[in-house]
Amino acid sequence: MLNARFLQLPRNSTISLRDQVCELVSSAVARDLFPASEPLPSCRVLAAHLGVSRNTVHDAYCRLIDIGLVTAHARRGYFIKEATAAKLRSELTGRKQKRGLSSPLDRNFAGKERPSDMPRVDHPDNWNAYPYPFVYNQTEPALFPIRAWRESMRVAMATSNLQAWNQDRADSDSAKLVRQLQQRLLGYRGISASDDQILITSGAQNAIYLLGSLNAYLGGRVAVEDPCYPEARNAFAVSGNDVVAVPVDREGLCVDRIPEDVGLVYTTPSHQFPTTVTMSETRRHALCARAGQNGFLICEDDYEAEMNFVRKRGRPLRSMDISEQTVYLGSLSKSIAPGLRIGYMVAHEDIIREIKAIRRYMMRHPPTLLQEAMAHFIASGALDVHLRRTERRYRKRWEVTREALDRHLPDFEVEASQGGTCFWLTCPEGIDTTTLAKRLRPRGVLIDEGRVFYSDPRRGQRKMRIGFTALSQEDVQAGIRIIAEEAQQMRKQSDPICPEL
C-alpha cells in the first residue's frame, strides 16, 4: 500500500513524465515527508498510484540515483541518501527565506502582534549542552524519582485499572488524584476544597489560559504584575483579554494600583515571578479585600510555595479569601518534572463548572493515565520523599549561589528573597543584560535577561535572573565567576577608569 498519497502529478506540466516523477519525489524528500529508515514506494505501487507505466517510475528512480539522491538496495528497494537529502532541505529553506514567501495570515495580522513574536523567555533547545545553564524551570534528570514513577505507571496501567483511564472523561478527572490533592497537598497549604471545587489541568500554564478564556468571555480586563511571568501575560492576551500592568515592590503586588474595572488579577504571591519577592501578609489581606469590594477574581499562581528557605511559608490567598474570589493554581510538573504537565485549579464550584466547560471545548481533559499514575505516586509517599530531597538540595544550592553572588558580583543588587530556585539581580550602571547575555553564550553561560519580563522592556535593561536548579554547586561557582569577568570587561569598555568589580 502506498504510504504517501500526497504525491500527485501536476495537471499541465510541459516536461516529460519521467522528469515530473523525479520532481515529485525530490520535492517530497526536500520537505522531509518520507521516513528515512523506510524504502520509497516501489515502482509498481507508485506507478499504479500516479497512473503511469512502471518503466516511467523506474527511469525516474534511475535518474535520482544518478544525481545521488536515491540509492538502490537489492531485494529491499529504493532508499533516500540522507546526506544529499539534508543538503536539498537546506537549499529549500534558503530559497524560501530569500523569496520571503507570504503567509495566508499576513493580511489578518496587519497591525497586530503575532503570538509567535510575543516576548518570552527562550532558551536554546540544547540548553543542557551548555556548561553553565542558569535557566529557569529545568531540573537535573538524576533528581527524577524514576523507580517510584515507573512503579506508579505500572499500577495505573494494570488490567484492573484499565476502565479508569481508557475512556473519554470530558467532564471528570481522576477521583483518586482529586482525593490525594485534598488530603495531601491542599491540606498542607491550609486549603479546604470539595470535589466540585477542583479541576485537573495540563500544568499551571493551561490553567492560566483557561481562566483567561473565561475572563475574556465575560468581557473583563486582566491586571498582571510588572515585571511578570511573560507566558501568563501572553496567555491572557492571546485568549482575548486587554492586559494592564500593575507594579511590584518589595511587599509584592501594589494593590492600590489595581484599576477598578478589571475582571481578573494575576499574582504569584509565594515567590513573585521573576523578582522572587514574597507578598506580605498585610498586602495579601488588602488584595482579598479589594477583590471582595470590586468583584474581580484573583488568579493565585502558587509558584514555588514549597521552596521557602528563610521564613515560614505564608498563607495562600485562597485560604484567606472569605468571598471566594480567589482561583488557586498549583503545579505538580515543576516539583517533579516539567515534562509531565500536570497541574490543578481550586475555586468556587461555579467557576470550576464554567472552566471545565471551556476545557472540554479546548482539549477534553488531561490524560487520565497520567492522572492515575500521579495519584498513586502521591499516595505511596513518593512525592513527599521527592519534595524533601529536592528541598534539601535546592536549599543548599540557594545558599551556595547567594554566597557566590556576594563574592563575585558585589556591585550587583540582589533582590531579598526567602527562597525559591532563582535570584533576581540589578546590574550596575553601564551593563545591559541583553548584551551581557550575548557575550556569555560563547563561554557556555546562559542567563535570563530582564527585558522580557517588563511591559516596558527598557525598565529591564539592567535586570537579570539567575536560576540554579540545573547546575551542580561547583558549576554555580564557576559560572558566576565567568559572569563577573564579562561584566567587568563591559564596564571597562564603557568606562576606562572603572574600578574592578
What pLDDT does 1 receive?
A: 42
- What is the DSSP secondary-structure string of 194-255? -GGGEEEESHHHHHHHHHHHHHHHTT-EEEEEES--HHHHHHHHHTTPEEEEEEEETTEE-G
The stretches in the chain having pLDDT less than 70 are 1-5, 92-102, 305-313, 495-501
Distance CA 450, CA 422 (A): 13
pLDDT of 420-471, one tens digit each?
889 999 999 889 999 999 999 999 999 999 999 999 999 999 999 999 988 8
Return the residue matching grid coordinates 557575550. Answer: 439
What pLDDT does 3 receive?
A: 53
CATH of domain 132-141+385-494: 3.90.1150.10
HSE value, Cβ hemisphere, 13 Å, CA-based, for 5: 1
What pLDDT does 306 receive?
A: 67
pLDDT of 67-95, one tens digit each?
888 899 988 899 988 888 888 777 766 65
CATH of domain 17-99: 1.10.10.10
Distance CA 84, CA 67 (A): 9
Helix/strand/coil for 439 = helix
User: Domain 142-383 maps to which CATH number in 3.40.640.10, 3.40.1690.10, 3.30.70.1380, 3.40.1190.20?
Assistant: 3.40.640.10
Sketch the domain layout of the chain as residue ranges: 17-99, 132-141+385-494, 142-383
What pLDDT does 467 receive?
A: 92
Intrachain domains 17-99 and 142-383 with the same fold: no
Rounded to 10 degrees, the C-alpha dihedral 124/128/129/133 comes to: 80
CB 324 within 8 A of CB 348: yes
What pLDDT does 465 receive?
A: 95
Distance CA 79, CA 61 (A): 10
- Burial (CB count <10 Å: 0-12, 13-18, 19+), residue 282: exposed
| Of the candidates 232, 231, 245, 321, the residue with the CA atom closest to the CA atom of residue 285 | 321
- Burial (CB count <10 Å: 0-12, 13-18, 19+), residue 216: buried
Distance CA 375, CA 156 (A): 9
What pLDDT does 141 receive?
A: 73
What pLDDT does 419 receive?
A: 77
What pLDDT does 449 receive?
A: 94
What pLDDT does 108 receive?
A: 81
Distance CA 185, CA 387 (A): 12
User: CB within 8 A of 491, min separation 6: which ones?
Assistant: 428, 430, 431, 498, 501
Distance CA 45, CA 230 (A): 51
Q: Provide the angle, in degrees to the nearest 10, between the axes of the packed helices 473-494 and 382-408.
A: 30
What pLDDT does 500 receive?
A: 47
